[in-house]
Structure formats: C-alpha cells, structure tokens
Structure 1
C-alpha cells in the first residue's frame, strides 16, 4: 500500500511518498524537476498544460494562464476560459492531476490515497475547498494538514532524540505562516500559529517589478505604463522572480526591460532588492513576534530552534532579520521539499495507525516492512501523536434582546487544541418565534472580534421552533472542529429533538457539484 503527501503550493507544488528505506522521497515530474510550477495553461477547451510550460506561456497568452489560484481557494469566483467556467477547486484539481500522473509515471504506482497540505492560517473555507479539489482530481484525501506541521514532522524524524520547542517560519510563494511546535518523545504538538495567506514570495516579485517599472518610466517617460500591457507585465514578473532568486546567491544581477520598442538595461543589487521589499519582511517579523507572544502566554518560556521552510525563506535577508530580532540561529530545513516529505510521512503513519485500529495488523506490518521499517520503528509510529490547533475563531451571530444589535459569539477560539467540540446554550428573541437563523462566522482579521464586520459568514441554516413558544425558548449549538480544521455545526432544540446539521461546505461547491466536476474534468487532457 502506497500513500502520498502533496504540497499544493501557491507557486510551486510537489508530491512524495515513503521509499523502501523508510525515507520520504519526492517524485520528479515529466520535465525532470522535483517541483512543478502551480500554473495552468488552458491551451484549448480539451487540453490543459500544467507546470513550467504553462508558466512560460503566461507571457504569450496571459488571459489563458492561471497562477496563484491557491489564494482564491474557498472564496474565489469562477474563471471563464474557452467558454467554460472553472472554479478555484477545479483549477487546483488540474494541478493535482498533473502531480499524480507524473508520480505514477515516475514510480509505476497508482496515486490514490493522499494527504494534502495547506497553510496553517487557512480557515475552514480554504481547507474544505482543498479537500474538494483532491476529490475532483480523483484522489482519496485521507487528511488535510498544515504546512508547518508537515515541516515539523520532517524535522522531528531527522532529529528524533530531541525534546524541544521549535519555531517554524514558513515563507512560501504565496502564503506565510509562523508556528510554534513542541517535539516530545517523537510526538508533535502545535502550540499556536499565525500568518497571512496573502503574503509570500510573489509579493516580493511584485515589489521588484514595480521598482523596475519606475526605472524604465524614468528613462522613457514618453511611453505608456508597461503594466498596462498584459504580456509586458507577465514578462516583467518573470524577470523580477529570476532577479530575486539570483540575488539570493549574488550581490548584483543584470536586468533588461523591453516595452514598445524601448529598452532599459540596468543592474539590480541585493541591497536594492532588500530596500524595496523591507516592508514585506517587516510584516513577517511582526507576525512572528505576535506568535511568540502567544506561545509565551501558553507557557512556552523559550524556543530551542528556528526552522525556515518555503522557497522564499532562502533570501539572505530573512535569516538576518530573524536572527537579529529573536537571537536564534535560523536553520534552512530543505525549504522546497520539507512540506511534501512531511506530508508523505504523516500519510504513511496515519494509514499505518488506522490499519492497526481497524484490526488489520497484518496489512499494517506488510506496509511497514515494505518501507524497510524495523519492529522498533513500527512501535514508535504507533505511539506517536500529532496535536494541532485552530487557526481561526468560529462562532454564530447573536442578537441582543434589548438593543437588537448583532454580534458574534465565538465558540471556538484561535489556537484552541483540536479536535474541539463545544456546546453552548442560546435562546429565541420573540414570543411565537417559528425559526432561528443560524449564521456560522469565521474570524477574518488577525484578532478575534465580536463585530460582525470583522468576521466572514461561512455557512447558514434555519432551525425550526415548535409553535407557541415564549421568548427565551432554549436551543443548543455545537461546533465540532476536527484535526484537519474542517467544521461541523449542529443546532437543536431539545423539546421535540428538532435538529439542524450544517456541514460547512464552502468554496461554492456542493458534494453533487464535486461529482459532476470530476466527471467533466476527466474528459480534459492534462500534460
């Protein structure tokens, strides 16, 4: 039995599984690379190209190439391409299909059971949409886990004898998370997490691109703004990304900007790069500081290690700023591949434990032996636990009986240990009320707030009330948030047992639509 871990990234993705020596191994794609650009080129209605070729075609066909779709998971609107509407889940599913098909070609093993990673700061909507993307791709999604947790699993396996607190700083292409994690006896406990799922390396690219445009316009003031042309914009973004990567190893890099027959040739220095992106780095440091303060309030007196993951964490300025601010020596932890490897380890261990729980010890042992694990290693896996926390606060809208002002009563709070199941009592407002509207809300900002405007509505439903009941008739609401960060809400009144179940399915797709999308996308060729 082979299970796989997938790092579905904003800018780059990869897939891994456990090899015959018990180590996580990343599969190469058909182009020979460990990572695949998360870019999708809709070449024709029936043919889609995913990866580097799609990214390259963004310059020529910007309207038919989709990038950064991860930022739209759970709340984005469909894209119209060749006369068909594609949801963010469907576009992500095409990336997942590419990863799975390339892994199958590389290994000869069918990709079916997978664990997909998401940023720790993803809420219920984004996590639910990610699971649905996997289902549309024809995959059995065992679980959804956070990227820092996956990176911590990789770190813990490589450092099995250490009991310590680590700070994972995860700066990817499109998202940023910072998480404090405790490693104890091989088990992993997430203490707290924070982040911004719209902050990442692509924002560094944008800042560099704008800087290059300013230099071009200063030299050629009589031509139009290069960013008004989609092809020029895509070319500038490629140039900016290349410059950012080169300046991680060099102190200066030559660039050439062309637009409307004019050319600007210049030299970009690492110092300039760091200057125009300082505000972005400062934002990550501020979020990291906030996370450390939260961990301190939860009893973490000191941190032993600072682990850097995510491709954008390779920029020298990142390690320098963090070392200066927090007095820790940052360690680059296989930044491009650690998350996929950790997801593969988690997928293997979770499947092994589930087989044992189901009484299928023989199958579990065969699976472990196939991975070259000793009896002692199997015992370690069986005993290992992973505890995580809620990334956001969740609650319902309540109305004050006197002022009739709405507010949000949170039942689950950010950094509550998962799984969490909380029941609270509420009551009706008026005599003879026949229904109660249950509006499920998720924290939108960096801090929990009772203001309705500071929360996003992620689900709703009506609970029927028996006739003739006076104001104050009691109801109960239960929030159950599982270890994947997926939410189930139940509202009930106990007199007749009337109950309302709300499986929060956000991202705009019902289960029926997922099945339909899977059948529809199966007819599209992905390469």
Structure 2
C-alpha cells in the first residue's frame, strides 16, 4: 500500500513517498516544482486554485486569495470569500487536496494514507485542526508528527550508524521551533522543544515591505501610501520575498516600488536587510537558549550537530549568528524538503509496524518488497522507537476556597515525555454545590503560568455533584496526552459515577461540521 508524508507549510507545502529502492522522494506537482505555495485563490465559490497560480493572482485579486492560513489553525476564525465563510481547516484542506491530487497524477495511485507534519510548538487545538483538515480533504491521516521529528528521521536515515545528539533549528515561512533530539541505536528521543508559531520568514518579508514603503514615501511625499492599496501591497510582498532570496547569494538587490503613477528604485543591501530584521533573529536565539537550558536541566549539555531546517535558514545571517552563539558549525539538512521526506519515512514505517502488529505479515512483506528493503532493514523498522514530549502545559481552572481567586493547576507540563497520563482529585468550593465546571486550559505563553490570562481555554464541560454535599467533595480528573499531542480529559464524580469525557475539539468545527465540509469540498473543483 502506498503511504505519503506531507509538510503542510505556512508559505510552501510538499508531499513525499518512498521510492522502489527505499529512499524518501519528494513528488513534484503538476507545475513541475518540488514545493507548492500554500496559497488558495477562489476563482468562484466552486472553482479553487492552489499554488503558484494562486500566488500570482494575489496581486490582481487580493480579496479572493488566502495565504498564511497555518497561523490561524486552532482558532475559531473564518475568512469571508464570495459570500461564504471558510474555516482554517477548510482552507488547509484545499492545499492538502491539491498535493494529494498532484501526487496521484505522478504516481498513478491514490494518495490517501498520509502523515502530516506540524510545528513542534503546535498545541492540542492546532494539531486537532490539522487532523480535521486532512479528513475534510478526504485523506486518512495516519498520524500527526512534529516537523523536527520528521527532520530527525531524515537525518537518522542518512547517518544510520551514528549515535548523535542534535539541535534542530527549524525556521520556516511562518513558524519557528528549536528541538533537542537524541538518536540512539536507530531510536529517536525528543529531549525538549520550544518555539513560536507566529515567527518565520513571512515576518522578515513584512519588515522589508515596511522599509520599501517608507523609502517610497520619502521619495514621493505627495503620493499616497503604497500600503493603502491592496494590489500594491501584494506586489511589494512578492518583491520582498524575492529580495530576501536574492540576498542569500548577493550583497545587494534593487526593488522597484510602483504606486500612484510613481516609481521608487530602492537599493536594499544584505547589511540593511539584516539590520531591519535583527530583532527577529534575536527572538530565535532567545528561544534556542531557553531550549538549551531546559535540555541542560535534563542532563543534556553536549551536541554533535546543529541541524538547520526550513527555507528561511538559507539566510546567511542565521548560520553565522548560530555558529557565533553556539560554537557549532550549522548543517543545512535539505531545508526545503527534509520534513516531507521524514514524514514519508515515518508514514511507511508506522504502516509497516501496524501491519506486523495486526498479523498482516504478507501485506507487510509486499510493502517492504516494493521499497526494496532487506530483512535487516525490516527488522530495524519494526523495532524503531520514537519518543516525544509535550510542547505545552495543560491543566484546569481551580478556585481557592478562601479567596475565591482562580488559578490553573497543570496536570501535564511542557517537555514531559509522551504519552502522558495523570489523575488528580479536585474539590468542590461551596456547600450544596450541584455541579462542577471543568475548564481545560493550555499554556499560551512561552513559559508555564498559573495565571488564567496566560493560558487558553480549549475545552469545557460540567460534572454533576450529588445533592447535600459539603464543600470539599472530590472530583477525579484525568488528563491523557498521546504522542500526537492530542488530549483527552475525563472527570468523574465517584459516588454516582457521573462522568465527563472531553476529547479536545477546538477550532470551531464539530465532527458534524467536518463531515459537512468534506461533502461540500467534494463538489468544488480544485486545481
């Protein structure tokens, strides 16, 4: 059976599979490129274009084009287009469907069984939304895995005989993660992770756009602001991205800003670009330092390799700064494609293991035979373990009986090994209380905090309490977080057995809405 790995990126996405000699290979889209811009253009309500053509159209029809949708995953927001409200899950589903359709065109096989990657710092809501996007697209999402783990799988396959401790610095188009990973005997163990899913190459582009607009206003003070015109702004964003890419190999680049019948030729040097964006790079260094400190607390303080992943790591300032700060020579690990390749390897290995566990030996052997795997390679795959950690802390809101102030009691903590399960008793606050609210919270900031304002409410429910009970009546709460980062919460009142079960279902889409969206998308032409 064919399985695929998908890197669903903020700015670019790609899909990979295992070829006939067991190598992960990125499948080119029908336009002939390895990566597809994560941009969706609504030509009409029933005709959707995804990719480079959509990106090109953004200049002409900015109101009908959506980009950077990954930053909205897990949020209860919609984008109004052609009289319809589209959720982030639905918009991401269009991108996934484009990748799967192009893969089918290339291979001649349905690309249905997939593993999709997410930033390591994505929480339960974002991971759940990503899984739903896959289902809306008609895909069977085998698993959701973190991008650094996928990159580490690719790295481990390329260096199979070496036990290494690596620091993965992953700076993509819209997200940033840094993760410490130990590779031991073919097994992969995440030591700790940290990041910011609203920090990436798009922010470097935004700084450049601001600078270009400022220079235009200086040269043409009597003209309008180019940022007030959506078409001009979209063109400037494209020019800014092109300038960023040009400055990876050149020391200067000229951008022509055209607006209101005027033109300003802006000379942008690499030095100026790095000055404009220095604080953004500083933020990645700060997060990396925090990750190293957490790893040191866990007994890891020596590293064999610093692995750079994500297209934005091609910027020369990134490698130079990291080498100066960490005294480790950075290695670019196939930055644009490593994550998709690792996801394909993981999809293949996970499917192979499941077939073995289910007793489907013949299917497993056929699968391995198609990939040209030796008996020893099959044995290694069957035995490979991947251990990961929670990206954030999770808990519930509790009330102090004396002061009646609220705080968050965390049952699962950031960088705790997964799967994690913890049970704890909590107690009613008032006499004759008939119900207990269970408000599930997820760490929102960069560090764990008891303050409710520093956490996001991601699920809520109620457990009934028997009549006539005094304050302090116990309610048993269990948190269970699996290796995909998906959370289940159970609350039980022991006397009556009244039970609340919450599968964290965030982002505004119920199971019924997912099915309705899937049916609606099937009637839309996506190209």
Structure 1 residues 151-188: Cα deviation after superposition (integer angstroms, max 9, x where no partner): 00000000011111100000000000000000000110
CA distance in 1, matches of 2:193, 2:345: 21
Q: Which residue of 2 aligns with 1:127?
A: 127
Q: Which residue of 1 aligns with 2:155?
A: 155
Aligned length: 527
Whether 2:108 is the aligned partner of 1:103: answer no
Deviates further, 263-272 or 284-293: 263-272
SS in 2 for 1:20: coil
Whether 2:224 is the aligned partner of 1:219: answer no
Q: Which residue of 1 aligns with 2:467?
A: 467
Whether 2:12 is the aligned partner of 1:6: answer no
SS in 1 for 2:494: coil
Shift in alpha-carbon separation, 1:472–1:505, aligned structure 2, 3 A:
same
Asked if the contact 2:46–2:524 (Cα under 8 Å) also holds between the matched residues in 1, the reply is yes
Within a 5 Å distance, the mapping from 1:330-345 to structure 2 comes to: 330-345=330-345
Q: Which residue of 1 aligns with 2:187?
A: 187
CA distance in 2, matches of 1:301, 1:265: 49
Q: Which runs of 4+ in 1 moved over 4 A?
A: none
CA distance in 2, matches of 1:210, 1:81: 27
Segments of structure 2 that go 5 or more residues without pairing to the other structure are none
Q: Which residue of 1 aligns with 2:85?
A: 85
Q: Which residue of 2 aligns with 1:245?
A: 245
CA distance in 2, matches of 1:108, 1:484: 30
Deviates further, 240-249 or 354-363: 354-363
Within a 5 Å distance, the mapping from 1:391-430 to structure 2 comes to: 391-430=391-430
CA distance in 1, matches of 2:301, 2:396: 34
SS in 1 for 2:209: helix
CA distance in 1, matches of 2:471, 2:92: 47
Q: Which residue of 2 aligns with 1:456?
A: 456
SS in 1 for 2:287: helix
Q: Which residue of 1 aligns with 2:304?
A: 304
SS in 2 for 1:450: coil
CA distance in 2, matches of 1:520, 1:390: 35
Q: Which residue of 2 aligns with 1:519?
A: 519
CA distance in 1, matches of 2:194, 2:345: 24
Within a 5 Å distance, the mapping from 1:426-505 to structure 2 comes to: 426-505=426-505
Whether 2:380 is the aligned partner of 1:388: answer no
CA distance in 1, matches of 2:451, 2:254: 50
CA distance in 2, matches of 1:495, 1:266: 73
Q: Which residue of 1 aligns with 2:293?
A: 293
CA distance in 2, matches of 1:468, 1:274: 67
Deviates further, 516-525 or 249-258: 249-258
CA distance in 2, matches of 1:57, 1:289: 41
What is the CA-CA distance between 1:76 and the residue it aligns to? 4.4
Asked if the contact 2:24–2:345 (Cα under 8 Å) also holds between the matched residues in 1, the reply is yes
What is the CA-CA distance between 1:301 and the residue it aligns to? 2.2
Q: Which residue of 2 aligns with 1:19?
A: 19
Whether 2:71 is the aligned partner of 1:71: answer yes
CA distance in 1, matches of 2:204, 2:266: 19
CA distance in 2, matches of 1:250, 1:297: 41
SS in 2 for 1:110: coil
Q: Which residue of 2 aligns with 1:168?
A: 168
Structure 1 residues 55-111: Cα deviation after superposition (integer angstroms, max 9, x where no partner): 000000000000000000001411111111110000000000000000000110101
SS in 1 for 2:457: strand
Q: Which residue of 2 aligns with 1:259?
A: 259
What is the CA-CA distance between 1:284 and the residue it aligns to? 0.5
Asked if the contact 2:459–2:505 (Cα under 8 Å) also holds between the matched residues in 1, the reply is yes
CA distance in 1, matches of 2:85, 2:283: 35
SS in 2 for 1:472: coil
Structure 1 residues 228-274: Cα deviation after superposition (integer angstroms, max 9, x where no partner): 11001000000000000010011111211100000011321111111
CA distance in 2, matches of 1:514, 1:45: 18
Asked if the contact 2:387–2:418 (Cα under 8 Å) also holds between the matched residues in 1, the reply is yes
CA distance in 2, matches of 1:9, 1:339: 10
Asked if the contact 2:292–2:301 (Cα under 8 Å) also holds between the matched residues in 1, the reply is no
State TM-score, norm by structure 2: 0.99
SS in 1 for 2:97: helix
CA distance in 1, matches of 2:27, 2:392: 33
SS in 1 for 2:496: coil
Asked if the contact 2:212–2:266 (Cα under 8 Å) also holds between the matched residues in 1, the reply is no
CA distance in 1, matches of 2:24, 2:434: 56
SS in 1 for 2:322: helix
What is the CA-CA distance between 1:469 and the residue it aligns to? 1.5
What is the CA-CA distance between 1:41 and the residue it aligns to? 0.3
CA distance in 2, matches of 1:376, 1:496: 54
CA distance in 1, matches of 2:509, 2:130: 11
CA distance in 2, matches of 1:401, 1:281: 45
SS in 2 for 1:382: helix
SS in 2 for 1:114: strand
SS in 2 for 1:122: coil
What is the CA-CA distance between 1:480 and the residue it aligns to? 0.4
State TM-score, norm by structure 1: 0.99
CA distance in 1, matches of 2:84, 2:301: 54
